[in-house]
Amino acid sequence: MCVALVLVVMSETRSSIILIRLARDARRITGNNKLKARIEVERASLRSLLKVSCTRPLCTYDLVPEVYISSL
């Protein structure tokens, strides 16, 4: 129940999602379909998304030794 409450009450904080919503609203209000958020124009490939998702945790181990030590 607490999780459902958090999902309903908390607003979105990720900037890319906020910009997509703002661009969608601006398109609806102005009727100008050329208005797009950068993320809508520059879609990343699945391969690059997987690469980032797999390598980011490894970079965390290199940059923050406390994370590596606490995982042992």
Tokens read off for 21 = 């919503």
Model pLDDT for residues 50-71, shown as the tens digit of each residue? 998 888 877 766 666 776 677 6
pLDDT, tens digit (0-9, with 9 covering 90-100), for 17-49: 899 999 999 999 999 999 999 888 888 888 988
Distance, in Å, from the CA atom of 35 to the CA atom of 69, rounded to the nearest integer, reads 47
The label of the residue with tokens 């958090």 reads: 6
Cα(63)–Cα(72) distance, integer angstroms: 16
Amino acid found at 15: S
Percent of residues in the chain assigned helix, strand, coil, to nearest 5: 75, 0, 25
**Which tokens belong to 68?**
């590596």
Instruction: Break the chain into its structural domains and give their ranges.
Output: 14-71
